[in-house]
Each structure stands twice: as C-alpha cells, then as structure tokens.
C-alpha cells in the first residue's frame, strides 16, 4: 500500500531576501525579487518593505517606492517616511517632499525624528520662508533644533531666504560638540551665495579642518562673484592640503579660468583632472568647453565636445555660444540645425546663442527668421535677453528705427541693457535726435547708469557739442555715477597680469613704455594715423594721441611682446568693447611683429592675423 507524500514548499527566510535586496543593482532583478516576496507571503514584512522602498529609490523608481510606502506597507514607520522624503529631496522634488511630510503627520501618529527634520528642511531651503519657519518651531517643541544636522539644515533655510543674521545666530548657538565641519560649511556656503566673501573667508580660515565640500563652497563663492584670481589661489592652496578635489571643484575652477581667459591655467586643470581620474561627465565636459571657448581655443573645445558621450542641450549651447563669440556665425547656425536634426529641443539659451551669432555677423534675415520661429515652431516665449539680441542685431546693421519700433512693441518691460544697445546704435550711426530722446527718457526715469551718461556724452562729442558734453559729465558727477574703467589682462607663464589705462604699476613699466615708443614709430612707418576723433575730450592733438597710446590693451600687448618668444601668440582679455583705434593698431602690430593676437572684449573675440581681424571690422 503506497502512501502519498505531501509536497512541502520551502520559502527562503526573510534574511535571505534582505541580503538579495541589499546587493541588487538592476531594476529587472528588483522587480523579480518583489514578485518573489509576494509569492512568499512576505509582502507585509516591515524590514523587507523598507529595504525594497529604499532600493527602488536608489534605482530611480520613485513612483514604485512611494506606492510601496503609502499603499502596501501597513503602519509605515518614521524611518520609512523619512527615507522617502530624503529621496524626493535628492531628486529635486522639494514640494513633493514637503507634501509627504504633511501627509505623514496627518495620516498617522508618527513623531518626526532628527533625520525627518533635516531632510524636510532641505526641501524648505528651496521654497518660500513659511514652511521652514513652521518646521523650526516644531523642531524646538520636540527638542531637536540643536541636533547637528537639523541645525545645519536650519542654517540653510534662513540663508536661502537672505536672513544671514538668523543663520549666524543659529551657528553661534551650536554646542561645541557638534560637527563644526558640516555646520561651518553650511554657513560659508550661505555667505558665499550672498556675496559676503569676507565673512565666508574668515569663517573658512578659522576652521581647524575642512572637507572637500567646504573648499568647494569657498572656491565657488569667489568664482560666482567675479574673483577668479582668488578662486585660483585658493584652489592651489587646496592642492597643497590633504583634501583631494572632485568634479565640483574642477567645474568652479574652470569657470574661474574662463573668466580670466587663462588658457594655460585651464589646460593645466584639464590635465590635472585626467591624471587624477576625476570623473568626466557632461557637466565637467561643458565646463571645459566653456573655458576653452572663452580662453580662445575653439579647437580644444571641439575636441572635448566630441569626447562627451551623452551630449545634453547644455553642451550644445556652450558650443554654439563659443562659435558665436568667435565670429563663426555660420558654424553656430549649422550646429543649431544639427541639434534639431538629432531630436534635441532647443532652449531659450540656445536662441540667445544663435541670435548673438547673427548679430556678430550682421545676419539680419536669419536673425529675424530665428526670432519668429521661437514661438511659432518651438513654443518658446521670447525673454528680455532675446529682444536684446534682436535690438543689438538691428542696431549694429544700421536699422536703428526698426530696433526702436521693436522695443516699443514688446510685451515685457525693456531693461537698461536693451536701451543701452539702442543708444550705442544711435551713437554709431549718428542718430543724435533719437539718442538724446532715449538718454533723456532713462535719466528722467532715474534708471540711467554710467553707460547711459557715457553714450550720451559721446553722441554730443561726435557732433562737436562740447558744451553739452560738459553738462552731461557734470550731471554724471553730481549723480555719483562712476564710469567703469577699462582693464586688460594677459596670462604669461601661468600668471595673469592686469593693466588699466595709463598704468604705471607694473615692475617692468619702463620696458613696456619703451616697447610702446618702438611700436609707435613702426606703426607710423606703416601708415598708421591715430584716430584722435575718438578722444572725447576737448584737447589738443598731441594730448589726444598720448591718451590713445596708453589704452589698457596696448599696454598688455606691449608687455606680451617683451615677455614671450617671437612668433608666440598673445591673448588679451578686455572688460570693455575694444575701441576703433586699438582695433586698427592691433591689426598692424600682428602684421609688423608676425604675431597672432587674440583679444576677447566684452562682446566677442577678435583674432588678429597678418593685418586682418576675424570680425571683418564688424563688431
């Protein structure tokens, strides 16, 4: 007689599933494990559900993670909610994180812990002040406000709303045993973002130890607020410390190099990140493209562009903008067509790049067509920057009245930059009546800046109305408005040297002026006649010639000639637009001395080779 033996299904224990989830690295495998849990009747196991929830988040499946928390986990714990809030914040979903926190409080008797507060406060730092203040009150009631991570998050909240005083009070109240690296870094970041670099640096220098995040915050503060030299100095100090830079450091430092146009320094940073195996991603690649473009090397920028595997629209935009600033306008438009063909959607930044390209080459027809296509084809509403590009394009091309009509037809309020472009066009094409009308309008509204006064003064000076010039300059002085001084910089042997007009500060100033005298004789032998009509002061001709001869870019070029080997390219960065006389002189110097001279001014690059310029004298 045979006896039937029952089949017994043995399910793996929870510990086995726990280990499998911990080591799971693919979405497909995680879905299989979840299905196995359901078949095994372990789908309500609190620890396994928590681990599943975290693994879904880490693999980017936030929807599955939240569904598991809210619908499939009976009586979820504070740890489950806190983990989900943290994941939402990491993915930039700050409003969703705050709503989940509110849902946690309203749907269950859960008391938030320090991790819950620190995560939720991170979300509030990117929202309006109200939620952060409410959470601060709640943290005080629960006795958690002095926790190191909660206090640090609170510092972020107050600083993000501009309340640096409250942020500092919170920092000063921290107990001595708190993690000062974390909290100090938070406050340094706050000071740096607000532009209070002195207080940020004082706090930074007092820290007994610093991590990479702290160094990055200080370096980026200098970079973002126009102190690239200090950013580079601090980066060199970081290299001498025990802290190793990461890709965030490199991006900030490359931005500093771009601001200075320091190609040699930028190439060194590029070499450093390669040799030290710093992660090369799209963000680092784009920072390199931006640095090479702004430092005068489109060839290197293109090489980096080709190395980026998954090019996003930001990388394309940087390459388009680079071609535009170098005067390669047709190539910029080709890149625009190429990115559209590859299925990428252009952004508002893309159109700023291509419209600038049109402006630098006088491509009026193409510019009009692109501007119209923004809304009609790409559903992008033009911003003030796009109108500014169009006014600049039309004004440079001599279509001053059309530019004025465009401003008057705008659906948004024109800004001072836009009016300044129109005023510059009025000066260039001697539209004195319209220029005076625009300038007086800006003066009456109280929104004029130094550029407004200077352009109005220039319009009068061009017409020889010296009495009006004196009136404008007196008005400028009485208003307390100061003209931005011209400044040119040049990098020699990895050191950046700056010059202002008539500068006498450089250690080699005698040699520099001796070279200027030598150049003066060579230039006159080649038919150069100083453009003294550009000196907008009522001076005698010799004084006007002397004033022209000591412009900052001429001093920088002279220093470059005496400091580098014959045949070496010279690269200059100018903070203002290059004047016509300096442009003419630089063309001749490139021919006489056999040097390629690259000048980056406020608007674009000029490549001077053998007596001609890449801009075609249109800038």
Q: Is the domain of 52 the same as that of 161? A: yes
Q: DSSP of 140-199, one letter per residue? A: HHTT-TTSHHHHHHHHHHHHHTT-HHHHHHHHHTS-TTS-HHHHHHHHHHHHHHHT-HHH
- Residue with tokens 């693994």, as numbered in its chain: 55
First-to-last C-alpha distance (Å) of the chain:
105
Residue 110, in any domain of the structure: yes
- Higher-confidence residue of 328 and 36: namely 328
Q: Is the domain of 167 the same as that of 25? A: yes
Two structure tokens written together for 176: 């001595």
Q: Is the domain of 250 the same as that of 152? A: no
Q: What angle do CA 387, 388, 390 make, to 5 degrees?
A: 65
Last residue of a domain, one of 265, 291, 310: 310
597-600 and 605-609 strand pairing: antiparallel
Q: What integer pLDDT is reported at residue 351 of this predicted model?
A: 98
Q: Is the pLDDT of residue 461 over 80?
A: no
Q: Which of the four pLDDT bands, split at 50, 70 and 90, describes residue 82?
A: very high
Q: What integer pLDDT is reported at residue 11 of this predicted model?
A: 57
What are the distances in angstroms from CA 404 to CA 390, 398, 410, 618? 11, 11, 10, 21
Say how far apart CA 37 and CA 181 lie, in whole Å.
42
What are the distances in angstroms from CA 100 to CA 24, 64, 89, 95, 125? 26, 15, 11, 9, 16
- For residue 471, the tally of other CB atoms under 10 A from its CB is 14
Q: What integer pLDDT is reported at residue 8 of this predicted model?
A: 40
Of 80, 89, 150, 159, nearest to 118 (Cα)?
150
544-554 pLDDT, tens digit per residue, is 788 888 999 99
Say how far apart CA 8 and CA 103 lie, in whole Å.
43
Last residue of a domain, one of 288, 310, 332: 310
Say how far apart CA 608 and CA 619 lie, in whole Å.
14
Q: Kindly state the DSSP code that residue 577 receives in the 8-state scheme.
A: P
Q: Which strands sit side by side in the sheet containing 495-500, from one edge to the other?
A: 495-500, 487-492, 570-574, 597-600, 605-609, 612-613
The CA R_g of the chain, rounded to the nearest whole Å, is 31
Contact (Cβ atoms closer than 8 angstroms) between residue 552 and residue 586: no
Q: What integer pLDDT is reported at residue 9 of this predicted model?
A: 46
Q: Is the domain of 27 the same as that of 160? A: yes
Name the domain count of the chain.
3
Residue 523, in any domain of the structure: yes
> Which CATH number characterizes residue 79's domain?
1.25.40
Q: Is the domain of 168 the same as that of 295? A: no
Two structure tokens written together for 603: 């608007």
Residue 451, in any domain of the structure: no
Q: Is the domain of 168 the same as that of 259? A: no
Q: Is the domain of 27 the same as that of 163? A: yes
Residue 52, in any domain of the structure: yes
- Residue 247 lies in domain: 228-310
Residue 109, in any domain of the structure: yes
Say how far apart CA 210 and CA 180 lie, in whole Å.
9
167-182 pLDDT, tens digit per residue, is 889 888 877 666 677 7
Mean pLDDT of 441-468: 82
Three-state DSSP string of 366-428: HHHHHHHHHHHCCCCCCCHHHHHHHHHHHHHCCCHHHHHHHHHHCCCCCCHHHHHHHHHHHHH
Q: Is the domain of 20 the same as that of 167? A: yes
Last residue of a domain, one of 266, 287, 310: 310
Residue 522, in any domain of the structure: yes
Angle between helices 416-428 and 450-462 (to 10 degrees): 10
Q: Is the domain of 115 the same as that of 258? A: no
What is this structure's pTM? 0.79
Of 450, 437, 448, nearest to 415 (Cα)?
448
Q: Is the domain of 32 the same as that of 108? A: yes
Q: What angle do CA 534, 537, 542 make, to 5 degrees?
A: 75
Residue 293, in any domain of the structure: yes
Q: Which of the four pLDDT bands, split at 50, 70 and 90, describes residue 538?
A: low
Residue 388, in any domain of the structure: no
Q: Is the domain of 32 the same as that of 167? A: yes
Q: How many percent of the chain have pLDDT more than 70?
A: 96
CB-side neighbour CA atoms (13 Å) of 133:
6
* Burial track 116-126 (b if 16+ CB lie within 10 A, e otherwise): bbbbbbbbbbb
Q: What integer pLDDT is reported at residue 391 of this predicted model?
A: 97
| Bridge partner list, 609 | 612
Q: Which of the four pLDDT bands, split at 50, 70 and 90, describes residue 536?
A: low
Q: Is the domain of 20 the same as that of 163? A: yes
């Amino acid at each position: 007689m045979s006896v039937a033996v029952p089949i017994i299904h043995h399910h793996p224990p929870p510990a086995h599933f726990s280990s499998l989830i911990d080591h799971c690295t693919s979405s497909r495998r995680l879905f299989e494990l979840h299905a196995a849990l359901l078949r095994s009747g372990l789908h309500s196991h609190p620890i396994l559900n928590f681990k599943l929830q975290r693994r879904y988040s880490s693999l980017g499946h936030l929807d599955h993670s939240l569904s598991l928390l809210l619908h499939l986990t009976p009586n979820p714990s504070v740890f489950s909610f806190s983990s989900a809030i943290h994941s939402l914040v990491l993915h930039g979903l700050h409003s969703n994180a705050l709503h989940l926190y509110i849902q946690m409080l309203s749907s269950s008797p859960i008391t938030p812990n320090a991790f819950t507060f620190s995560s939720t406060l991170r979300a509030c730092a990117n929202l309006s002040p109200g939620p952060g203040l409410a959470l601060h009150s709640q943290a005080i009631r629960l006795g958690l406000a002095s926790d190191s991570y909660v206090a640090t998050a609170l510092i972020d909240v107050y600083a993000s709303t501009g309340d640096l005083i409250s942020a500092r009070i919170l920092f000063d109240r921290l107990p001595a045993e708190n993690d000062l690296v974390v909290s100090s870094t938070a406050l340094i970041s706050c000071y740096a973002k607000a532009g209070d670099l002195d207080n940020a640096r004082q706090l930074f220098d007092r820290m007994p130890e610093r991590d990479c995040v702290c160094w990055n915050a200080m370096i980026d503060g200098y970079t973002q607020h126009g102190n690239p030299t200090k950013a580079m100095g601090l980066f060199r100090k970081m290299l001498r410390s025990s802290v190793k830079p990461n890709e965030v450091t490199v991006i900030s430092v490359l931005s500093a190099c771009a601001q200075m146009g320091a190609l040699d320094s930028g190439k060194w940073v590029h070499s450093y990140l390669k040799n030290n195996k710093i992660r090369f991603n799209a963000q680092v690649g784009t920072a390199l493209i931006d640095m090479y473009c702004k430092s005068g090397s489109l060839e290197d920028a293109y090489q980096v562009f080709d190395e980026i595997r998954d090019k996003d629209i930001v990388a394309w935009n940087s390459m388009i903008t680079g071609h535009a600033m170098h005067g390669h306008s047709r190539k910029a438009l080709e890149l625009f067509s190429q990115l559209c063909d590859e299925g990428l959607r252009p952004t508002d930044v893309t159109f700023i790049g291509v419209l600038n390209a049109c402006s630098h080459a006088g491509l009026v027809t193409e510019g009009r067509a692109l501007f119209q296509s923004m809304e009609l084809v790409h559903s992008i509403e033009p911003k003030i920057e796009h109108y500014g590009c169009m006014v600049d394009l039309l004004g440079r091309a001599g279509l001053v009245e059309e530019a004025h009509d465009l401003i008057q037809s705008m659906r948004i309020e024109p800004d001072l930059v836009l009016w300044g472009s129109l005023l510059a066009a009025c000066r260039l094409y001697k539209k004195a009546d319209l220029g005076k009308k625009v300038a007086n309008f800006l003066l009456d509204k109280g929104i004029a800046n130094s550029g407004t006064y200077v352009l109005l003064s220039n319009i009068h000076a061009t017409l020889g109305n010296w009495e009006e010039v004196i009136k404008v300059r007196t008005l400028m002085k009485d208003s307390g408005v100061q003209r931005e001084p011209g400044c040119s910089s040049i990098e020699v042997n990895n050191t950046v040297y700056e010059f202002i007009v008539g500068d006498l500060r450089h250690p080699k100033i005698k040699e520099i002026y001796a070279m200027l005298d030598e150049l003066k004789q060579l230039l006159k032998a080649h038919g150069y006649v100083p453009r003294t009509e550009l000196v907008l002061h009522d001076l005698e001709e010799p004084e006007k010639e002397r004033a022209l001869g000591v412009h900052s870019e001429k001093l920088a070029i002279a220093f470059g000639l005496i400091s580098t080997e014959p045949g070496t390219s010279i690269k200059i960065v100018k903070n203002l637009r290059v004047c016509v006389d300096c442009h003419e002189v630089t063309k001749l110097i490139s021919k006489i001395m056999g040097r390629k001279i690259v000048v980056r001014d406020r608007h674009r690059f000029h490549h001077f080779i053998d007596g001609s310029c890449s801009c075609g004298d249109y800038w």
